[in-house]
Structure 1
Amino acid sequence: MTHEEKRSWIMLVVAVVAYTAYLVIVVSRAGGRPLPDVPYAATLLWTVGAAIVASIVAEIGIGVVNPRASRAKDVRDREIGRLGEYTGQSFVIIGAVAAMLMAMAGWDRFWIANVIYLCFALSAVLGSITKIVAYRGGLPQW
C-alpha cells in the first residue's frame, strides 16, 4: 500500500468519525427542542479542529511505524490524486450552491452551516473512496 493510499484511508476514517461525533453531540443536546435552537458552532469548530489534528497525528504515526517508506509520488499517484480531488470537489460545489440558495431563502444559520459541513465531509469521503478504488482497481480508461 502506497503512502498516498494510506493518506486516503486516514482521510476517509477521520472524516466519517468526526462528522458522526458532531451529529451525535448536536442531536443529543437537542433534548426534544428544535435543532436550530441547539448550540452547535463550538461543537462544529471543535470537531473540524480535532479532525485536522487526528489526520496529522495519524500521518505522523504512519511515518514512525515505517520511516523508510517512500513518499515519492509517481505519475499514477498524481493522476489518482487528481481524480479523487475532482470527484470530491463536486460536493463542495453542491454545498456552496445549497448554502447560497438557503441564505437567499432566509433559512436559519444552523441549517446553512450544517449543509456546508455535511458537504465538506461528503467531499472528503467521496474523494477518499475514489482514490482507494483507483489504487485497488486501477485508473479508469477514458
Structure 2
Amino acid sequence: MTFTERYTWAGLILSIATFAAYWIVIVIRAASDGLPFAEVAWQGPMLWALILGGGLYALAMLVLWIRVRGEAHTDARDHEIERYAATAGSGLTGVAVLATLVMLALAAPLFWTATVLFAGSFLGSVVSTGVTLSAYRRGF
C-alpha cells in the first residue's frame, strides 16, 4: 500500500467519524431540547468538527509521513489517480457551492445553508476518496 493510499484511507475514516459525530451532537441537541434542527445551536459543533477533523487529519498525515521518511512518497501513478479523483469529486462540491449561493441569495435559514455546504463538501470528498481507493484497487 502506497503512502498516498494510506493517507487516503486515514482521511476517509476521519471524515466519516467527524461528520457522524457532528450529526450525533445535532440530533441529540434537537431531541433533548425539543427544537427543530434550524433552531439548535449548531455553530459550535460545526466549527469543532472542522477544527478537530482537520487537525486529526494533519496529525495522521504527519505520523504516516514520519514512518516513510527517506522513501519516495508518491509516483506518477499516484499523481494520475489524484487528478482523476479530484475531477470526480469536484462536481458534487461545485453543486453544493452553487446551491449554497442560491440559498444565500434567497435568504434561507443559515443552518440549512451551512448544512448544504458542509454535507455537499463532505459528499464530494467521499466521492473523490472512493474513486481514489477504487483506482488503487482496480486500476483506472
TM-score w.r.t. the length of structure 2 is 0.91
Where 1:15 maps in the other structure, the secondary structure is: helix
1:42 is aligned to: 44
Cα deviation digits, residues 62-98 of structure 1 (max 9, x gap): 2344445431x22211110001111111121111111
SS in structure 1 opposite 2:59?
Answer: helix
- Matched residue, 1:121: 122
Give the AA of the match of 2:112. W
What is the rounded CA distance, in whole Å, between the counterparts of 2:129 and 2:28 in structure 1? 29
**2:13, 2:29 → 1: CA distance?**
24
Describe the SS at the equivalent of 1:7.
Answer: helix
CA contact (8 A) 1:11 1:124 kept: no
2:8 maps to 8
Report the equivalent of 1:53.
Answer: 55
Q: How does 1:102-113 map to 2 (within 5 A)?
A: 102-113=103-114
* Larger displacement relative to structure 2 (25-34 or 60-69): 60-69
Q: C-alpha distance in 2, partners of 1:25/1:69?
A: 41
3-state DSSP of counterpart to 2:83 = helix
| 8 Å CA contact 1:91, 1:123 repeated in 2 | yes
> Does residue 1:18 correspond to 2:18, yes or no?
yes
Question: How far is the alpha carbon of 1:106 from its aligned partner?
Answer: 2.5
Q: How does 1:92-111 map to 2 (within 5 A)?
A: 92-111=93-112
Question: How many residue pairs end up in the alignment?
Answer: 138
Distance of aligned partners of 1:79 and 1:66 in 2 relative to their CA distance in 1, 3 Å threshold: closer
| Structure 2 residues without counterparts, runs of 5 or longer | none
Gaps (5+ residues) in structure 1? none
Aligned to 2:89: 88
Relative to structure 1, the CA distance from residue 130 to residue 44 in structure 2 (aligned partners, 3 Å threshold; closer, same or farther) is same
